[in-house]
Amino acid sequence: MSAGARRAGRLLRWYPRSWRDRYGEEFTELLLDELASRPRDWRRGADIALHGLLARLASAGLTSREQPAPAGMAAMAGALAVFCTLGAAMLAQLATGWQWASPGSATVTAATVIMTLAAACVAVLGLGAVVPVGWRVLAAFRRRDPRVMRPAAIAAACAAALVTGARHFQNGWPGTGGTGASHHLVPGGMAAFSWASTLSVSSFWAHPALLARFPAAELTWMAVSPAAGIALLVAAAVTVRRLSLPARLVRYLTRLARLTTGSAMIFLCGAVIWLAGERAGAGAGLFRPGLVDGAELLVMGLALTVALRLARTLSRALGRSAAVAGG
């Protein structure tokens, strides 16, 4: 393989696989001619990188360009998964505090109740979406469809690794031995599992001296679990994108997505109430939010914005399809 062909191949990697499969051969030929006439041009590389990233955003359904329903569903599920992961870390922090003491503020109490109820709604709605999609995945396994089987198997392996690791490390939950059943707003087992699952979301990363005191196994889990989580999200998204979803199921999932984003907005409002209470002195001790919580809130807001945009796009597309079918 010539040096020009290798450079063209590296530049082509900026674009998503679906784009490369469709336009890659023609684009490579044009790029080889361009490289022959102008071997060095930083503007060309920057232009390819920019358009490649835009094509990836469009492929994920994050632009105004409409995508097939499975692609939009996968992108929306990914955004909600990011929101839920950070929300679980935030709620686990509050649940740990409740194990040891009641907050000395009605603001923190109200915020925790709001977040707990909203998280329960999101969990129920998520289960309602996972069951029919999982059934479609099992149908693909029965047909021995390799396009679906491979990413689904990777997703299942990553999920199993995350569950196994969280179950192991939840034994070190700092809420163990807390006082009083009246403080168990969130069930202890659920709070411990959430804490262990999101152990990597921690301000200890900014304090290497304190981090060095952690056991080696726990440090390894803190480093490995985010990678496994990302692999799970990517594999699950690829699986959903490759599924053939009937129109009835797409409408059902879209309705669930709208309800889920509404519950997520309520959770976000509870989190904002909690963080706003810190300025008024409402937070204290284990209930006081920190810089990591503020960063989590920012990322959660961005993820929810993406999910809301995708939900609206899917709803509009379904409305147009229904109008065309009715006409």
Q: Hey, is 159 helix, strand or coil?
A: helix
* pLDDT at site 226: 92
pLDDT digits (tens, 9 = 90+) for 205-255: 877 888 888 889 988 999 999 999 999 988 998 898 888 888 888 889 888
Pick the closest to residue 22 from 33, 12, 32 (CA basis).
12
* pLDDT at site 259: 92
| Greater model confidence, 288 or 95 | 95
pLDDT digits (tens, 9 = 90+) for 45-94: 888 888 888 777 766 655 555 566 777 788 888 889 999 999 998 888 88
Low-confidence winner among 19-28, 161-170, 174-183 (lowest mean pLDDT) = 174-183
* pLDDT at site 160: 95
* pLDDT at site 124: 94
Instruction: Give residue 112's pLDDT band: very low, low, confident or very high (50, 70, 90).
Output: confident
**pTM of the model as a whole:** 0.76
Which residues lie closer than 8 Å to 255 by C-beta, 6 or more apart?
Answer: none
| Greater model confidence, 25 or 123 | 123
* HSE (side-chain half, CA atoms, 13 Å) at 33: 5
- The token pair at 23 is 């336009």
Beta strands in the chain (DSSP E): none
Is the model's pLDDT at 323 over the cut of 60?
no
- What mean pLDDT comes out for the span 15-31? 82
In one-letter notation, the amino acid at residue 82 is V
Instruction: Give residue 181's pLDDT band: very low, low, confident or very high (50, 70, 90).
Output: very low
* pLDDT at site 149: 92
Which residues lie closer than 8 Å to 66 by C-beta, 6 or more apart?
Answer: 313, 317
**Buried b or exposed e, range 250-278, using 16+ CB within 10 angstroms:** bbebbebbbbbbbbbebbbebbebbbebb
Is the model's pLDDT at 202 over the cut of 60?
yes
